[in-house]
A and B are shown apart, each in its own frame.
Chain A
């Protein structure tokens, strides 16, 4: 079945540095990717929606200059957390919509646990 590969699975960084998270659709083309964040013991919250070749749409309250999303190809989307701070420590997970099955299914990455010291 379709697989979304998300890397890294966990990362520890110093406050003030930037971290890039990648999501790749391995055997399908993803026209749309969704980025979610999950704080401990809380639900997954949608951060932004990215469409291949266009700017991402951010949810209310999500800083677009802090969470840079690039979806330059049909198989790769990246989320860069710029100038990370301890409050950005969270679990980040992506999901991708298959170009051909469209609305039928979303495929999720395995998530990235970010810890900012």
Chain B
């Protein structure tokens, strides 16, 4: 069985500050890991994915995530928050590639303060 835990349902950051969203997973097989973002009234968009290649994955909008097997973590970071980063972020895991069914974390809502 797979599971995903996102620490913190809400995160508040100042504009220009570091964004750090935590994600830990459990999986019986080597996982495929994803971060999705959901803006208000929109569908989920893929930010980035880890598929057993490089452990540091760069995504869109300046986000990146690092896969750490020893810590079973896949934390998402962005060096400098922008107001447009305010959204809900979901970490997810699948046994296969992106096209397989996903197990999601509970989501983290990011608020960016001016």
Q: Please list the residues of chain A having a beta carbon within 8 angstroms of any beta carbon in chain B.
A: 4, 6, 9, 32, 34, 36, 41-46, 49, 93, 95, 97, 101-111
Contact = CB atoms under 8 A, between A and B. Distances in A.
Contacts of A49: 101
Contacts of A109: 43
A45 B3 CA distance: 11
Interface of B: 4, 9, 36, 41-46, 90, 96-107
Given A102-B99, A103-B98, 18 more contacts: A34-B101, A34-B102, A36-B104, A41-B9, A43-B4, A43-B90, A44-B102, A44-B107, A45-B104, A46-B103, A95-B43, A95-B102, A97-B99, A103-B97, A104-B98, A104-B99, A108-B43, A109-B43
21 contacts: A6-B43, A9-B41, A32-B99, A34-B102, A41-B106, A43-B4, A43-B90, A43-B104, A45-B104, A46-B102, A49-B101, A97-B99, A103-B96, A103-B98, A104-B98, A105-B46, A106-B98, A106-B102, A108-B45, A109-B43, A110-B43
Interface of B is mostly: loop
Contact of A103 (B45, B46, B99, B107): B99
Contacts of B41: 9, 110
A45 to B, nearest CB: 8
Contacts of B104: 36, 43-45
Interchain residue pairs A-B with the least CB separation, the first 4: A103-B97, A103-B99, A108-B43, A108-B44
Contacts of A111: 43
Contacts of B101: 34, 46, 49
B43 A106 contact: no
Contacts of A95: 43-44, 102
A106 B46 contact: yes
B99 A107 contact: no
